[in-house]
Amino acid sequence: MIKVETPSAKYQVFAGTGLIDSLQPRMVKVLAGMGQKLPRRVFVLTSPEIWELWSKRFLASFAVEPVVLLLPPGERHKNLRSVEKILRQMAKAGGDRSSLLIAFGGGIVGDVGGFIAAIYMRGISYFQVPSTFLAQVDSSVGGKTGVNLPEGKNLVGSFHHPLAVFADMELLSTLPDRELRAGLFESVKAGMIRDRSLLRYMEENSAKILGRDPAALEKVIAASIRMKAEVVGIDERESGLRMILNLGHTLGHAIESVTRYKVLLHGEAVGWGLISSLYLGKMRATITEPQFQRLMRLVYLYGPLPALRLNAQKLVDATAKDKKHLGNVRRFVLPVGLGDACVVEDVSGAELLEAAQYMLALAKPLPGKAGA
């Protein structure tokens, strides 16, 4: 159990195996600790695939079956149209201010579910039950919720913390290898920015981690959550320290935007973004050449990353829509040594272009292979 404590919320992240089999009593216990009871109307937002795989075990502990709301998979459904559709379904089903929402799925379900909980009836309570590695180690913790606009990723959203997070490692048993690898790039990032011991563990135990060794996965998940909980506790609203969590995300989000979210998983885009950030860190001497080589090897340990055939200037142009920027100030996160990071505000367009070109040179499709 890991505590998350911020100025506006305190809650716990429960990480383990078999949590799905006892969700209602666990949620009732959390609510009782707050002087509340399980409400009359409970909603579950999930994806059709996750619900087909896990619905029987999910529902086994519930005395009254919740109202199920389905969100199709993919970033293209993480938008305001989907939000309106789900909100109307909740209203028609009799949802009120006492209703409870459970976000049961990957990062997209968690982001959309949290945003819906933040705005329905001006805010209702919700729980996170993340089903992917990426959601368990990153997006389910910290209270960030939101959806995309055609103009950029996560441009509409709110800070709205869950009552608790239940990260059941057993749910990862049905996760495709590609999605596991994609999620692991967020843990690689966690080690790079604030946890040298996690960084070293992921270097030395990649075979166990990729082989889904339960003890290895549990160690990486717990360390990643603790790191994020610590950062969020210090800087809840991303006014300072929390911005380091965006290492690799500036060009990562640009890749997603330019490819219209159809080519890479989020973690894969972050993986390429990490490479660009490492290159820029080496250019600016925030990391040494040996550190650069070491961190690059770590990224490649958890590959392969899908090939890309994109225009570097288009990626740089797309970063102008990054929500971390303020006015004409271009904010960028750089690695500092091993296990630290900093936010700089003077990265030039030329520097960013060079970093993008370096990244794309590595991302070229092999001869005879189709590119993105």
Cα gap 93→73, rounded to integer Å: 23
pLDDT confidence tier of residue 315, bands split at 50, 70 and 90: very high
**What separation in angstroms does the CA of 254 have from each of 85, 147, 215, 311?**
27, 16, 35, 11
CATH number of this structure's domain 2-174, picked from the four choices 3.30.420.40, 3.40.50.1970, 2.60.40.10, 3.10.110.10: 3.40.50.1970
pLDDT confidence tier of residue 320, bands split at 50, 70 and 90: confident
Same fold, 2-174 and 177-362: no
The domain spans of the chain are 2-174, 177-362
CB 72, CB 46: distance < 8 Å: no
Catalytic residues: 122, 144, 186, 228, 238, 242, 246, 249, 253, 266
Structural tokens at position 129:
């039950």
The CATH architecture annotation of domain 177-362 reads Up-down Bundle (1.20)
Question: How many helices (H) does the chain have, and how many strands (E)?
Answer: 14, 11
Q: Which pairing describes strands 100-105 and 152-159: parallel, antiparallel, or unpaired?
A: unpaired
pLDDT confidence tier of residue 324, bands split at 50, 70 and 90: low
Q: Where are the alpha helices (DSSP H) in the chain?
A: 23-33, 48-59, 80-92, 107-119, 133-134, 177-194, 196-204, 206-210, 214-234, 249-258, 266-283, 289-301, 312-318, 349-362
Cα gap 221→193, rounded to integer Å: 16
**How does pLDDT run across 145-193, given as a tens digit for each residue?**
999 998 888 999 999 999 999 999 999 999 999 999 999 999 999 999 9
pLDDT confidence tier of residue 372, bands split at 50, 70 and 90: very low
